[in-house]
Structure 1
Amino acid sequence: MKQIEVQILGQGYLLGCPEGGESRLLEAVERVDTAMCRIRDAGKIRARDRIAVLAALNLAFDLADRSMAELQARRDQPAPMPPAATTVATSDDAQLTSLLQRLDRCLGDDGQLL
């Protein structure tokens, strides 16, 4: 495992990183550092641990919102029908059409079941 030294809120950290994951880790560090700096620069909170907790909560909330939006987008897209289901649906449509035609003949001009 590779180690990378990073700066978050002006403090150095030595982080373990799997091979090939350097860019993702650096992007995560950038997001955390930006979130923490934004909270610190607002001036209301000075304690580093409180800033970290608030930043973590903000990032988790954003992630949950994004996940919910993706889930909603997937729900809004029609699911593709598998080939076997298409065949069954086509067969069902033909049977339904035939049944409706038979009902129309039985009802005649009246158009009412009772």
Structure 2
Amino acid sequence: MKQLDVQIMGQSYLLGCPEGGEARLLDAVEKVDAAMCKIRDAGKIKARDRIAVLAALNLAFELSELEANALKTSRTVTPSTTIAAKPQVAAMSAAEAAAQPQLTALLQRLDSALGVDGRLL
């Protein structure tokens, strides 16, 4: 397992990453950092742990919207597009299913790292 040093909201984290997953992990870090910085920059919330929870909820909500849209797409398939659409829906569902455990693991690592911090911005 490879380790990557990343920055989230200006703080360094050393994360474990499976071989070949560096690009996906860095993409996830970028999304988490952007979500947390957006909440912080809004100025209403200062505690890192609260910012992290809100960012996690926002990202989980976006993921559930993608899943709902994929489900809607699979239900509205017409007979003329059934053969072409099924592999795409299956691939999308598989990709989303594969991303869920990684997102959960990343959020758990973030929670444990922020739990030790205990500082306000």
TM-score > 0.5 by shorter chain: yes
1:111 aligns to what?
Answer: none
- Structure 1 gaps, min length 5: 82-114
Max Rg structure:
1
Secondary structure of 2:14 counterpart: strand
> Which runs of 4 or more aligned residues in structure 1 lie more than 3 Å from their structure 2 counterparts after TM superposition?
none
Secondary structure of 1:5 counterpart: strand
Aligned equivalents of 2:23, 2:66: Cα separation in 1: 21
2:86 aligns to what?
Answer: none
- Structure 2 gaps, min length 5: 84-121
2:35 aligns to what?
Answer: 35
The Cα shift of 1:37 comes to 0.2
2:64 aligns to what?
Answer: 64
Of structures 1 and 2, the one with the larger relative CO (CA 8 A, separation 6+) is 2
The Cα shift of 1:78 comes to 2.8
**TM-score, reference length from structure 1:** 0.69
Secondary structure of 2:7 counterpart: strand
Relative to its length, the structure with more helix (as a share) is 2
1:10 aligns to what?
Answer: 10
* Identity, % of aligned positions: 67
Give the number of equivalent residue pairs. Answer: 81
